[in-house]
Amino acid sequence: MLAKKLYLDSNLKELMEFPDNAFPFGIWQDEFNETVGQILNYHWHETIEMNVLLKGELDYRLNDQRFVLTEGDSMVVYSNSLHGAALRKKEDSAEMLTIVFSADLLTGGGAGTIYQKYFQTLRDEGFLGKRFESGSDMGQEMSGLLLKLASIEESVGYELRVLSQLSLIWEKLFSHLSGQQKTPATKRPEKYEREIKAVMNYVQKNYMERITIQMLCEQTGISRSECFRIFARFTQKKPMEYINDYRMSMAVGLMLNTKWTVDRIAQECGFQNASYFGKMFKERFNQTPKNYRINQRKEEQSIG
């Protein structure tokens, strides 16, 4: 019913693959643990994302905001908003329901009345997204609506039932936001957002090559101090930490989806050598790349 899927293109945006690309709607479950990884890398996508934390606690980032998601909390992340999550240090694991959809499903793909009133308005106000805590009335209502959406059976009329539930959720969200102050506290810091996206875009186009701080600065037109500042602000990491985290995420994808050797994967992902890659991999996943690949395939076979 729920399948964990995450695809990133070379331009940093998350590339969604839907069961039916003519109906851009998807549901999966993100898992955070030592086996599959404890971090959902910082990224953005054009689709709208909604989440319910089913288990555990996560440190969540929305642009330059940071907060803790606890079990039962829900999130709405608006299109093109930077976001990411990491398992809290005290937690062994966490599970998060993720629902993504294109606004085109509700607007018909044009800039008509529905788009102008219920989507463009939020974009014009700089809306990034919103967390709904499980202890609030709105939080309980939102998580309930999202869980109901995720439980819709894929039988005749499935798409119509999804559209109906999505419309209800968006109407509830818009009404809630309209009842609050006109200028949300989540206003986009546009200058810094442009800078971090430019730097991350360069990293994700060139991660397989040697990258230095000087190269990042020269290619994006920012100073060394500004480079460190925006990485700290948005990712709470130093630039090279982010680069290696991204390389590792790409390496994991290759481990699971190709038959390439560990040596080749290390080389293709920009690591100095296979030994260095193996050392970093074991620090992250508490097992060697070879054992990780074996264990993941055994798990897939048991599920399949």
Q: State yes or no: pLDDT of 7 exceeds 50.
A: no
What is the C-alpha to C-alpha distance for residues 150 and 51, in angstroms, rounded to an integer?
10
Closest CA to 303 of 30, 3, 94: 3
- Torsion angle, CA of 49/32/40/249, rounded to 10 degrees? -130
Report the range out of 160-169, 241-250, 279-288 with the highest average pLDDT: 160-169
What is the pTM assigned to this prediction? 0.73
Q: In this predicted structure, what is the pLDDT of residue 212?
A: 93
**The two structure tokens encoding residue 12:** 């940093």
Q: State yes or no: pLDDT of 185 exceeds 70.
A: no
**The two structure tokens encoding residue 129:** 């997204």
Break the chain into its structural domains and give their ranges. 25-178, 190-303
What is the C-alpha to C-alpha distance for residues 121 and 177, in angstroms, rounded to an integer?
11
Q: Which residue has better confidence, 89 or 275? A: 275
Q: State yes or no: pLDDT of 114 exceeds 60.
A: yes
Q: In this predicted structure, what is the pLDDT of residue 193?
A: 80
**The two structure tokens encoding residue 58:** 């996560």
Q: State yes or no: pLDDT of 209 exceeds 60.
A: yes
Looking at domain 190-303, its CATH architecture is Orthogonal Bundle (1.10)
Looking at domain 25-178, its CATH architecture is Sandwich (2.60)
Mean pLDDT of 85-112: 88
Mean pLDDT of 294-303: 72
DSSP letter, residue 237: S
DSSP 158-200: HHHHHHHHHHHHHHHHHHHHHTS-SS-TT---HHHHHHHHHHH
pLDDT cut 70: percent of the chain above it: 88
pLDDT in tens, 41-65: 777 888 999 999 999 999 998 987 8
pLDDT in tens, 249-294: 889 888 888 889 999 999 999 998 899 999 999 888 888 999 888 8
Are 246 and 237 in contact by the 8 Å Cβ rule? The answer is no
What is the C-alpha to C-alpha distance for residues 296 and 35, in angstroms, rounded to an integer?
8
Q: Which residue has better confidence, 180 or 176? A: 176
